[in-house]
């Protein structure tokens, strides 16, 4: 997964997960800050445990290839790498929330644009630089044009296949999990003291009130 393009693909993946879950019948229009329910947490777990680690692997261990050998991975500041990892973790969740809001408004056109724009922005440079992404080398080897080898059959190529398989398997598992979650169910409340049962009220009596003691004699 190329490092600069991973957040764009992650956002599109989140939108697709929202469309596959099909929550348009049970969602209402609500702000993003109040949308942390079970479906969103399932996507967040996928982003944190699968998508972000896979993207971070190439950012850290194959930085030259991740940037299409346009930058020297050894010169990349660690703050930039950390920022990319954080974006990788947030992109699927943001795409999922945006997709759910579009579905809640019954706007399939907005949903299509949300998925198409990031996908196009990531696909154009990927296609334009496919020759650089198709080799396994270092920044110095590409600049000097020696020692390069095709990506298929190389250790980096096997890593790309393995990691992409993990991404797809995790996305399929997340989509199947979302289909079994009731989107209208809120998060479980914290355990506390149960409320006392409400007793039914007695119907009013038509008998006149009775007074205790001896009745007073009229004067």
Q: What would the pLDDT profile of 24-82 be if each residue is shown by its tens digit?
A: 444 444 444 446 788 999 999 999 999 999 999 999 999 999 999 999 998 899 999 99
Q: Supply the DSSP symbol for 34.
A: G
Give the C-alpha separation, 35 to 33, whole Å.
Answer: 6
The residue among 124, 104, 6, 78 whose CA lies nearest residue 96 is: 104
Residue 182: pLDDT above 80? no
Percent of the chain with pLDDT over 90: 62
pLDDT band at residue 180, thresholds of 50, 70 and 90? confident
pLDDT band at residue 149, thresholds of 50, 70 and 90? very high
* Sequence-separated (6 or more) residues with CB below 8 Å from residue 81: 3, 56, 59, 60, 63
Token duo for residue 104? 């809640």
Residue 215: pLDDT above 60? no
Mean pLDDT lowest among 15-29, 97-111, 161-175, 188-202: 188-202
pLDDT for residue 183: 52
**For residue 106, with 0-12 CB atoms within 10 Å meaning exposed, 13-18 middle and 19 or more buried, which class applies?**
exposed
pLDDT for residue 205: 56
pLDDT for residue 83: 94
CA distances (Å), 170 to each of 43, 48, 174, in order?
10, 11, 6
Average pLDDT over residues 5-32: 75
The residue among 125, 97, 123, 124 whose CA lies nearest residue 111 is: 97
Residue 140: pLDDT above 60? yes
Domain locations along the chain: 6-179
pLDDT for residue 33: 40
The residue among 174, 161, 176, 187 whose CA lies nearest residue 47 is: 174
pLDDT for residue 28: 45
Residue 111: pLDDT above 80? yes
């Amino acid at each position: 997964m190329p490092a600069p393009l991973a957040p764009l693909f992650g956002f599109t993946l989140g939108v697709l997960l929202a469309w596959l879950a099909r929550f348009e019948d049970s969602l209402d229009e609500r702000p993003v800050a109040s949308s942390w329910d079970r479906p969103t947490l399932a996507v967040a777990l996928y982003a944190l445990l699968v998508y972000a680690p896979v993207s971070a692997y190439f950012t850290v261990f194959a930085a030259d290839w991740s940037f299409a050998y346009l930058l020297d991975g050894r010169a990349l500041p660690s703050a930039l790498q950390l920022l990319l990892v954080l974006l990788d973790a947030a992109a699927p969740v943001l795409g999922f929330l945006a997709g759910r809001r579009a579905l809640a408004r019954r706007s399939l056109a907005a949903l299509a644009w949300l998925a198409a724009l990031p996908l196009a922005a990531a696909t154009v440079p990927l296609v334009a630089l496919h020759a650089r992404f198709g080799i396994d080398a270092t920044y110095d080897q590409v600049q000097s044009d020696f020692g390069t080898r095709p990506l298929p059959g190389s250790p980096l190529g096997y890593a790309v296949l393995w990691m992409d398989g993990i991404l797809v398997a995790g996305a399929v598992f997340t989509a199947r999990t979302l289909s079994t979650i009731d989107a209208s169910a809120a998060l479980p409340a914290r355990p506390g003291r149960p409320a006392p049962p409400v007793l039914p009220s007695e119907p009013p009596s038509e008998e006149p009130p009775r007074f205790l003691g001896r009745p007073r004699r009229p004067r």
